Amino acid sequence: MKISVLVENTSRDNYCTEHGLSLYIALNRGKNILFDMGQGNLFLKNAQLLGCDIKDVDSAIISHGHYDHGGGLRYFMNLNDKANVYIQQLAFEPHYSLKEFGLKYIGLDESLKTDFCDRLVMCGGICALSEGVTLFTCSENIYPQPEGNSLLYGSDKKTNDDFSHEQSVLITEGDRVVLFAGCAHCGILNIMHTAEKLSSRKITHVIAGFHLMKTNDNEQLMTLAQCLLSHETCSYYTLHCTGTEQYEMLRQYMNNRICYLSCGDTIEI
């Protein structure tokens, strides 16, 4: 499969950037998947530069109910008239982030749920998109969640978000078992554990944000790196909410087992 980064926080080749995520996944069997859509229409502009035709997307996925992952939904629906969009059934609930000035709304535009109800597929725990492509919510809480979650709140504005609205996707092609996660708010190790139970196979590649931007404890990062390295057959590509400084700390321990993807990057696995 070929993965192109349409939206990410950084760029190596002068692509326009924003705080957000969007990936174009071209499967070897001819199907195309859009994973997240950034904040607005930037994913469309960069897709054109990268030669990724959004009209050719067969299925789209929104990983969770935050604006920087699903904010481009209306732009996608207006351009692509065939693909269903798979979203967790709780994703349109209100979500907030604690800032210096107080709580800021970071959820999705709730009108989208009504405007495009005929093409939105509301997912529960496990949802099979097609052969070898499975969406799932994390069912494990063995490992710690990112400490940055403590600043994120649910609809009552008082209780920390439990991220039951987050979903990841597992894609199997040949001997490749590839896990995609948006921000891994549930904890990348918990998500990996759920994915391996679901697939009964070892994951070969992880492409995900790890939501470590608020984590500056070197010991925590070293522990995470050691746990990731214990999956001996797995290679890691991270981006977006991991944070570039945190990535550099992880790379000190993981060397070439982890790479950072920026806007405009394309990889084949």
Where do the structural domains in the chain lie, given as residue ranges?
Answer: 2-268
pLDDT by residue (tens digit) across 185-231? 999 999 999 999 999 899 999 999 999 999 988 999 999 999 999 99
According to CATH, the topology of domain 2-268 is Metallo-beta-lactamase; Chain A (3.60.15)
pLDDT at position 12: 84
pLDDT at position 156: 93
Q: Helix, strand, or coil here: 181?
A: strand
Read off the pLDDT of each residue in 169-182 and give the average, rounded to a whole number. Answer: 97
Q: What percent of the chain has pLDDT over 90?
A: 95
pLDDT of 50 higher than 90: yes
Backbone angles phi, psi at 111, to 5 degrees: -65, -25
pLDDT of 149 higher than 90: yes
Cα–Cα dist 180/141, whole Å: 18
Cα–Cα dist 236/71, whole Å: 26
Q: Model's pTM, two decimal places? A: 0.97
Q: Please, what is the average pLDDT of the chain?
A: 96
pLDDT by residue (tens digit) across 90-111? 999 999 999 999 999 999 999 9
Cα–Cα dist 216/197, whole Å: 31
Tokens found for residue 31: 């199907």
Q: Helix, strand, or coil here: 122?
A: strand
The confidence band for 131, taking pLDDT boundaries of 50, 70 and 90, is: confident
The count of residues in the chain is 269
